[in-house]
Structure 1
Amino acid sequence: MALTTRVLSVSVPVAEQDAALAFYTEVLGCELVTDVEVWPGARMVEVVPPGSAVSLVLLPPDSEIPVAIRLGTTDAQSAHDAIRESAATLHNDELIRLDGIPAMVSFADPDGNGLVYLEDADRNGPQ
């Protein structure tokens, strides 16, 4: 069974979130999905191109929210275990569980690219 169900979002490092939000919505025509302070000092701004199932998360490079590709998985614990046994760099010893957010695991592939698995509510993957 494949651990990855789909690509959920891709982070884009931006110098200033408000300016980036204006560019992505007003110039590129993306739609605002999320603009919240996840915890004090950690703002998550998410836009999506019309008709796309994959969103863009606009984050400052020094954000506590990982600049990463976010992938869906049907079983975050199995994904965590598989990553622990691989050549990837695991960023957390246990699953991350925050109120209102699916269980997740943050890691880097062998080349250092940031990745996050989120337990996907849509267990059937892309439609």
Structure 2
Amino acid sequence: MTTPIFGSVLTVAVPVTDQDAAKALFESLGLKTTFDRELQPGFRWLELSLPGGATTLSLVKSGSELPAGIDTGVRLATPDARAAHATLTELGLAVGELLAWETAPLMFSFRDPDGNRFYVTETGAR
């Protein structure tokens, strides 16, 4: 058996055009800012985490080499997909259809104001 090289996913970077606006949105969704500093002139590193979560979401400034409007591949867990769907809709975000398949948990996707796509999946029993 080979010894693993990696132990966990530390952070996932998502490009955004306005770090302050993105920070405010994700804080309103329950994430907490854990790091926010300008590491060098013009380069701000901003990380947020969910309660009890080890992996952070880093909101990095978009640019020509790192455009916003991507499919992040980020899957967020929620105990109540219907309530999450309603909340994100009320916030005016582009929210996809709530998928209620018999063979899978409730799930949907949404896009942040920059067009970045995130996925939401209900955890626990239905």
Which structure has more relative contact order (CA 8 Å, sep 6+)? It is 1
Shorter-chain TM-score range: 0.3 to 0.5
Give the TM-score, by structure 1 length: 0.47
- Larger strand share, 1 or 2: 1
